[in-house]
Amino acid sequence: MRKINTFFHKKILVLGLAKSGVGAASLLHKLGAFVTVNDFKPLSENPEAQGLLQEGIKVICGSHPIELLDEGFEYIVKNPGIHYENPLIEGAIKRGIPVITEVELAYLVSEAPFIAITGTNGKTTTTTLIYEMLKADEKQPLIAGNIGTVASDVAQVATSDNTIVIELSSFQLMGIEHFQPKISVLTNLYEAHLDYHHSVKAYWEAKANITKNQTENDWFIFNSDQDVCLAIAHESKARPVPFSTKSKVEDGAYVEDGWIYFCGEAIMKYRDVVLPGSHNLENILASISAVKLHGVSNQAIHKVLTSFYGVKHRLQYIDSIAGRKFYNDSKATNILATKKALEAFDQPIILLAGGLDRGNEFEELIPSLKHVKATITFGETAPKIERVAKEAGIDLIQRVDNVEKAVPRAFEISSEGDVILLSPACASWDQYKTFEVRGDIFIDAVHKLK
């Protein structure tokens, strides 16, 4: 860990706990900061806050009192889930107090370079592929962020021999000042998280922050099939590295005559890839681009792509029961992700969908519902999804209370050869704390069928 004096004897407020807040508070305490932690959950129900209290860190729980801003904080480290419209954050911004996220802290203390990945869809798969390819070539990677250990914890143990591979959300990217990955990856951009960002433009601007501090000594890998990604690449100071599933790009990754290429070099035959779904080609090309820039061998890439079947909760094959195949795609928290999951199959599908109502309509799903023979709905958006299913000509539509009840119901109405697919097209927060919890409940329910 790099020794820095940026936060030494500075008064810092860590707003919101969860894993990233705990990591940030502990790190800042080690760096000699005067840390105050503020979390909405009462102290009696807050083991994380109790642990920090035992470390000698000041803890205030139960509310977010605006009076905290009168204590003269020089930085606020914000949990990504806390909105910028929170009165404390709005007040801090008005007073000129920098508001950062835990990722910024990790970058400042890390001895290791970063490969950072963002995008609307494919982040987790791409991050995991990059990590696995680096590991297969003995490049000593560490994984951090949304799918790994908290970044500030990883950064403390990383050395210059390591590379930190990190998945970043738009929420995290809004709170960076100096974060500068050696390689950044933008998988794709679509409309998402409008309840948080309020406009597509604001969402895309947050995502573009992944490359805002990069220089000509860094690389920016991007989806050249999308105009918005091309525009961000044009503004970036980093060396552009495009990938395309539609055309040949001489200075990036593409497919031609059944082979995957990078900068004109044949890497491997596409037919040897075992990861299901044509949508994963974007993730594969982005991953290959990143690791080839990092010097990974074609043998290591081939080893991973001929054995990697996907990440948990992302079009994850669970089991076959009485000729029905079950897939867990709980991480499909938006319409586009569900469209891509549906388009990955030619078999008849029983679709399990529904969740938090963010104001979206679901007509975009209709062209992708052609193989869906039945729909099981749950959650706040159940009526909306049912209406769209009827418009798509699906006759068998049933509503249940939750995912646990959806699985046996789907099995009852299915036939041999069907795919039973959990791909909710919605966030989980109306019923479940996280999409991981939702996916685990689905997995348990499948296993109970046996």
Task: Show me where the domains of the chain are located.
Answer: 11-100, 103-305, 316-449
Is 124 marked as a binding-site residue? yes
Is 125 marked as a binding-site residue? yes
pLDDT at 205: 94
Is 120 marked as a binding-site residue? yes
CATH superfamily for domain 103-305: Mur-like, catalytic domain (3.40.1190.10)
Is 123 marked as a binding-site residue? yes
Alpha helices in 160-297 (DSSP H): 170-173, 194-197, 200-208, 227-235, 280-293
- How many residues are given for the chain? 450
- Top CATH class of 316-449 equals alpha beta
Alpha helices in 271-399 (DSSP H): 280-293, 298-305, 335-342, 382-391
Alpha helices in 62-187 (DSSP H): 87-94, 102-109, 123-136, 151-157, 170-173
pLDDT at 194: 67
Cα torsion angle, 200, 206, 209, 211, sign: negative
Fold entry, domain 11-100: Rossmann fold (3.40.50)
pTM value?
Answer: 0.81
Is 269 marked as a binding-site residue? no
Q: Which residue ranges of the chain lie beneath pLDDT 70?
A: 192, 194, 196
What are 103-148's pLDDT values in tens digits?
999 999 999 999 999 999 889 899 999 999 999 999 999 999 877 7
Residue 388's identity, in one-letter code, is V
pLDDT at 19: 86
In the chain, how many H helices and how many E strands?
Answer: 16, 20
Is 213 marked as a binding-site residue? no
pLDDT at 117: 98
Residue 411's identity, in one-letter code, is F
Is 121 marked as a binding-site residue? yes
Of residues 149, 154, 147, the one with CA closest to residue 125: 147
